[in-house]
Amino acid sequence: MSGFMYILKCSDGSYYTGSTKDLDKRIAEHHEGKGANHTRKRLPVKLVYVEEYLGVDSAFYREKQIQGWRREKKQALINGELEKLPSLAECINDTHYRYFKEK
């Protein structure tokens, strides 16, 4: 059974990343306010990105990966700017930045 990882853009401009085995049903649930708490409070939502996988477990793994990304990296993925992903993966934490710069 296939699985889907998807990204929604919420009415406040935030992104919600999820995974499901039935994309149409899950998107309908979000629109009806029956989805995640995050989207329920930020209706309406718009589907802006989808990846399909052979299994929902792979889609769930990808969901968790992308949930850890900062906004700029998610936007690059959504916009198909894949060449930007490596530079957007670099640590921007000030403590780490100073540590590696001094070495």
> Where does 41-102 have alpha helices with state H?
56-67, 71-78, 85-88, 94-102
pLDDT per position in the chain (103 positions), as tens? 799 999 999 999 999 999 999 999 999 999 999 989 999 999 999 999 999 999 999 999 999 999 999 999 999 999 999 999 888 887 766 665 554 555 4
Q: What is the pTM of this model?
A: 0.86
Superfamily of domain 1-68 in the CATH hierarchy:
GIY-YIG endonuclease (3.40.1440.10)
Instruction: Give the start-to-end residue ranges of the domains of the chain.
Output: 1-68, 70-103
Region of 33 (left: φ > 0; alpha: ψ -120 to 50; beta: rest) is: left
Residue with tokens 């070495």: 103
